[in-house]
Chains A and B, each alone.
Chain A
Amino acid sequence: MATTVQPQTGAKPAVSLSNEEILRYSRHLIMPEVGMEGQLKLKNAKVLLIGTGGLGAPLGLYLAAAGVGKLGLVDFDVVDFTNLQRQVTFGTSDVGKPKSQAARARLLNLNPDIQIQSFETQLTSANALELFKDFDVIVDGTDNFPTRYLVNDACILLGKPNVYGSIFRFEGQATVFGMPDGPCYRCLYPEPPPPGLVPSCAEGGVLGVLPGIVGSIQAMETIKLILGRGDNLVGRLLLFDALGMKFRELKLRKNPNCPMCGTHRTITKLIDYYQFCGMRGEEAPGPTVQVPEITPRELKARLDRGDDLFILDVREPHEYQICNLKGHLLPLGELTRRVHELDSSREIVAHCRSGKRSAEAVDFLRKAGFRKILNLKGGILAWSDEVDPSVPKY
């Protein structure tokens, strides 16, 4: 069943296309499923993208190219060199620029006939309703639980569809929340996982094409909602496994007891989502354990002096291949099982990439009776900055 999104009232809707627009969109116009009527719906539509990163890149590019009349881009981040592997809106010369502005420039170059508003701000409970109210469809391309719940709740409060996409390493999920009879994000996941139980950091990374695929699915769903064509993902969670190259779908039901969209709503306004997700401050994925440390410079001096130090690298084997300090490789996840490989009579310096995983390792080993053990402060990143810049940072 096709569902149409009603455009927000306000400015007078466009009733015709210029000759140039007709040429630009001719491959839409010659399809009966779009046609002049559909293209005008796109031209009159207003879509807000939350996040202009990996998912936001194909979203922005395809929605701009398709002629969505007004696009809002919410992102407070700046383009980082490591973003370019997947955030295809940006070029190398954009590094260091605010993402919402760099994306706006790129999308206007692609389609100067549309209106693009960039909001260089963090989405918060204080500004979400105000930001959302002028848009017809909200597309969630964020990367953290607090914002996911915030986007969901704001969409439900305003009665707006929320086109959802999410990725992890090789897997993606997509669906449409917030339609009148459909479920919301809280129906699927009433609560977020506590920060300590999210996947470990040794599992970071993503294949750059994955957000391209999932973001493109979100773009397609957004356009279908605007056109009122086809079967959208309301009530279905689409799962994509890139390694197995398989799509599956699961049924999503509206939870009658949902505190947000159920028959007896108990959440009537936006809340503190960081607190709800068990986080304090803006980004606090759990504090680093306090353990005895050694700075990279101190370590270098001691090694130069010929001190007998056992360097313990608790990263993963594939990280060791990127760069290493010639340490003994024993991934944090295997430490419990392989602790017998270590000699507690020797002085040990543990390290990882940034110093966080190795702090956990040092903490564990101290509890296991190791007394002469230090954590390399700042990890390989600090070693590269302070001692040996030939060691690459990743």
Chain B
Amino acid sequence: MPVKVMIPSPLRSYAGKRDSAEFNARTVGEALGHLTTEFGDLRKHLFTEDGKLRSFVNVYVNDEDIRYLAKENTPTKDGDTISIIPSIAGGVPAME
């Protein structure tokens, strides 16, 4: 059973409108690598130009923040859920 990556609604339009995707991965970095390979448009929203996770995107394995684990090297096991939690300001912008 692979690792499940939850895609938050602000990023779904860059991920073929999917709300989650499953990958075989041993670390968080590997799973996010698979995710951004499958959905190329997601890459710039998650990573900086030099490949670092953006500071306003938080990633959790189950309910733990990977910043307090081993960051992108945090190991994952089958059945884990990786959540991407971007900051949302709230409010209701009108369309442009």
A positions within 8 Å CB-CB of B: 53-55, 82, 86, 141-145, 148, 165-171, 173, 188-193, 197-206, 237, 239, 244, 248-253, 255, 315, 319, 333, 352-357, 394
Contact = CB atoms under 8 A, between A and B. Distances in A.
Nearest to A214: B90
B96 A354 contact: yes
B96 A193 contact: no
B91 A250 contact: no
B96 A145 contact: no
Given A54-B92, A189-B58, A168 B9 contact: yes
A300 to B, nearest CB: 22
Interface in B55-72: 55-56, 58, 60, 63-65, 67-68
Nearest to B11: A199
Given A143-B91, A170-B9, A189 B63 contact: no
Interface of B: 8-11, 13, 19, 44-45, 54-56, 58, 60, 63-65, 67-68, 83, 85-96
A197 B9 contact: no
Contacts of B11: 199
Contacts of A250: 60, 63-65, 83, 85
Contact of B13 (A54, A202, A251): A202
A173 B88 contact: yes
Given A54-B91, A143-B90, A200-B13, 16 more contacts: A144-B89, A144-B91, A166-B90, A167-B91, A190-B55, A192-B87, A198-B89, A199-B11, A203-B10, A205-B95, A239-B85, A250-B60, A255-B67, A315-B95, A319-B95, A353-B96
B interface SS class: loop
A169 B9 contact: yes
Contact of A199 (B10, B44, B67, B83): B10
A33 to B, nearest CB: 27
A227 to B, nearest CB: 26
Nearest to B93: A204
A315 B94 CA distance: 13
Given A169-B9, A189-B58, A353-B96, A251 B64 contact: yes
Contacts of A167: 88, 90-92
24 contacts: A55-B90, A143-B89, A144-B89, A144-B91, A165-B90, A168-B10, A169-B9, A173-B88, A189-B58, A189-B87, A190-B56, A191-B55, A192-B89, A198-B89, A199-B10, A200-B13, A203-B13, A205-B92, A239-B85, A250-B85, A251-B63, A255-B67, A354-B95, A354-B96
